[in-house]
Amino acid sequence: MTNNASVTLTDDQRSWLRRFVDKPDAVLASGNVAARLFRTAVEIPLRTAIFEPHDAWGRRTYRAESFGQLLEVTEQYAQGLSRRGIQPGMRTVLMVSPSRDFVRLVYALLQLGAVPVLVDPGMGTKNLAECLEEARPEAFVGVVKAHLARWLFGWAKTSVRISVTVSELPWFPAGATTRSFRPRIPDEFPTPFHLANPDDPAAVLFTSGSTGVPKGAVYTHGMFCAQVDQLRQTFGIERGEIDLCTFPLFALFAPALGMTSVIPKMDFTRPARVDPREVLEPVEQFHVTNLFGSPALLDRVGRAAEKVWTHGSVPDTQTLQRVISAGAPVSPQILERFAKLLPPGGGEIFTPYGATESLPVAVIGSNEVLNDTRHNTADGAGTCVGRPVPGIDVRIIRIFDGPIAAWSDDLVLPTGEVGEIAVFGPVVSQEYFHRPDLTALAKIPDHQRGRCWHRMGDVGYFDERGRLWFCGRKSQRVVTPKRTCFTDPVEGVFNAHPAVFRTALVGVDRGGATEPVLCVELEKTAKPRAAAEVTRELLELGSRHEHTREIRTILYHDGFPVDIRHNSKIFREQLAAWAAQQLTSR
């Protein structure tokens, strides 16, 4: 982990920082992750931190804000939030769309030692209500729509006592607005800065709930700092790069990494429906070097570019050095299509493996996938997610659905055997907020090392070369009278068919026994053919492998239900209910 105390300030830098905090050396040495913004701002104050889209007179423009300006406005927000009564340890819901204000408010809250509570607004009102009731926030900071929804649905009505509206309106009934935080009040300087310890809670991030109830993973300041350092080391990110981020959480890392953030014009809850021009054109305009996007977004943009190539040209994307895609396995077809947008022999697509509770865990590049592992995937080996990143211990343990009281090396399986993936390291969260039952189910205390292992809820194995292979969610495995079928090794075989967009293995109860059923979503561009013909070809593919021969039932679905965060994780539980209904009605 980078040691902020090693930063040496000049007299001018120290004087500049004293406009905001009274002890700049102590701030930079603090374990508070907000110190990373101070560090970046003092070293490159004039470099642009954020380009935010702004439509004027029907023309797309971008408003620029330097790192120095970002720090200055963040300090105004921190001062305003402090005046409103937000204090260290106070859980504060933040419901703001990706923007300059989102970045400012997160860093302002972190600076004060408050604990931002981040939830996906697209998870549905019922899940949102449950998450906010569970979090018991004392403060609520959000856009006008968020406050209206809070009043309408009664979110956290018994716990919230401080409200702040993110709005340019001079007044709004929810209390203070961010407009009222400006201009600064000089006699109230310096702004408070919480000198956090690494183990102090920094945020509560709710999972997408793709395979169950959303859970609030508790992030510490040390965990955030470790993630920043790990991202820099793993992907070779350098200060001064230009990042186009289509996933809000990654935008928070950019200031700490010294990257300029370009915020695209898009609905961040529906990356699969993004206008490809809103991705490709900013890449060309700002000479973007780094892009973070879900598999669904890469698929949409890559397909659009491929279609345009046949009729003309696409924007110049040759500055892209690196594309990072996470949230679900990325198919070789998506990688192959999008890789055409990268400079020949230069850029690469990386698909890190991890979860809200631990990221990154392992990483692999598109070159290795397209030249090597894709063939194994098509043969039923699962999806290779690469080698563990430095500093992260990864083990494959015996599959067990209940809690595990304590870590033991006896749990570990040998190379090549499928089991549950367990991880240990500084980027691993140690608990779920106010959910001791789920913490006990997902964490394994390691009394010798003083921290917990996290059970990823995924199954996989290591090959002889030390590479980790993903085989699916543990809860979605299908146990038949003959064998246990894991989703990814099964689906990989059928996904190789050219008419198939994706497949999903589910289990359906037929006469007291579980039958494996393959749900199929065809390519939109697939030539219309009789379902019987495609089914016959898929069954022939399955007959070539021992673990897929048992599948004899194939159902076609127009569009799989997927998660709201990445639009990529398949809700197989919903498909299983649909499949059961389809088979019952036959």
pLDDT tens per residue across span 112-156: 999 999 987 767 788 888 899 999 999 999 998 999 899 999 999
Structure token pair of residue 153: 């649905």
What string of DSSP letters covers 25-83?
HHHHHSS-TTHHHHHHHHHSTTSEEEEEEEEETTEEEEEEEEHHHHHHHHHHHHHHHHH
Residue-wise pLDDT for 232-271, tens only, equals 999 999 999 999 989 877 788 999 999 999 999 999 888 9
Amino acid code (one letter) for 372? D
The C-alpha atoms of residue 493 and residue 376 are separated, in whole angstroms, by: 9
For residue 2, the model assigns a pLDDT of 45
Instruction: Pick the more confident residue, 522 or 190.
Output: 522
Sorting pLDDT into bands at 50, 70 and 90, what band is 452? very high
- Is the pLDDT at 186 greater than 60? The verdict is no
Lowest-pLDDT choice from 7-11, 41-45, 290-294, 319-323: 7-11
For residue 527, the model assigns a pLDDT of 67
Residue-wise pLDDT for 26-48, tens only, equals 999 999 999 999 999 999 999 99
Partner residues linked to 504 by β-bridges: 519
Residue-wise pLDDT for 79-119, tens only, equals 999 999 999 999 999 999 889 999 999 999 999 999 999 98
Structure token pair of residue 480: 């038949």
- Is the pLDDT at 3 greater than 50? The verdict is no
- Is the pLDDT at 304 greater than 70? The verdict is yes
- Out of 152-156, 365-369, 558-562, give the one with best mean pLDDT: 365-369
The C-alpha atoms of residue 560 and residue 272 are separated, in whole angstroms, by: 12
3-state secondary structure 448-473: CCCEEEEEEEEEEEECCCCCEEEEEE
> What mean pLDDT do residues 58-81 have?
92
Q: State residue 470 phi and psi, 5-degree precision.
A: -90, 130
Lowest-pLDDT choice from 2-16, 265-279, 461-475: 2-16
Q: For residue 137, is the peptide bond before it cis, meaning its omega torsion is within 30 degrees of 0?
A: no
Q: Domain ranges for the chain, please list them.
A: 4-223, 483-584
**Angle made by CA atoms 356, 358, 362, in degrees to the nearest 5:** 120
Which residues lie below 8 Å from residue 25, measured CB to CB, with a gap of 6+? 9, 14
The C-alpha atoms of residue 552 and residue 323 are separated, in whole angstroms, by: 38
DSSP at 95: E
The C-alpha atoms of residue 347 and residue 310 are separated, in whole angstroms, by: 23
Judging by DSSP bridges, how do beta strands 59-66 and 48-56 pair with one another?
antiparallel
The C-alpha atoms of residue 184 and residue 179 are separated, in whole angstroms, by: 11
The C-alpha atoms of residue 51 and residue 244 are separated, in whole angstroms, by: 10
For residue 1, the model assigns a pLDDT of 42
Percent of the chain with pLDDT over 90: 75
First to last CA, the chain: 59
Sorting pLDDT into bands at 50, 70 and 90, what band is 173? low
Instruction: Pick the more confident residue, 210 or 388.
Output: 388
Instruction: Pick the more confident residue, 174 or 516.
Output: 516
CATH H superfamily, domain 483-584: ANL, C-terminal domain (3.30.300.30)
Residue with tokens 């009281």: 405
- Is the pLDDT at 302 greater than 90? The verdict is yes
Partner residues linked to 133 by β-bridges: none
Sorting pLDDT into bands at 50, 70 and 90, what band is 177? confident
> What mean pLDDT do residues 363-391 have?
97
The C-alpha atoms of residue 569 and residue 369 are separated, in whole angstroms, by: 20
Fold classification of 4-223 is Rossmann fold (3.40.50)
C-beta separation of 224 from 199 below 8 A = no
The C-alpha atoms of residue 420 and residue 233 are separated, in whole angstroms, by: 27
Residue-wise pLDDT for 471-527, tens only, equals 999 999 999 999 999 999 999 999 999 999 999 999 999 988 999 999 999 998 776
**Angle made by CA atoms 183, 185, 187, in degrees to the nearest 5:** 165
> What mean pLDDT do residues 171-184 have?
68
Partner residues linked to 553 by β-bridges: 517
For residue 188, the model assigns a pLDDT of 60
> What mean pLDDT do residues 354-363 have?
95
The C-alpha atoms of residue 574 and residue 570 are separated, in whole angstroms, by: 9
- Is the pLDDT at 170 greater than 80? The verdict is no
Chain centroid offset of residue 108 CA: 22
Percent of the chain with pLDDT over 70: 94
> What mean pLDDT do residues 304-332 have?
86
Q: Between the CA of residue 148 and those of 140, 160, 203, 249, 267, what are the distances in Å? A: 12, 14, 24, 24, 20
The C-alpha atoms of residue 213 and residue 487 are separated, in whole angstroms, by: 21
The enclosing H or E element of 492 equals helix 487-495
Structure token pair of residue 451: 């921290």
Query: Where do the DSSP E strands lie in 90-143?
Result: 91-95, 115-118, 139-142
Which residues lie below 8 Å from residue 465, measured CB to CB, with a gap of 6+? none
Amino acid code (one letter) for 285? Q
Which residues lie below 8 Å from residue 376, measured CB to CB, with a gap of 6+? 382, 384
For residue 209, the model assigns a pLDDT of 65
For residue 11, the model assigns a pLDDT of 92
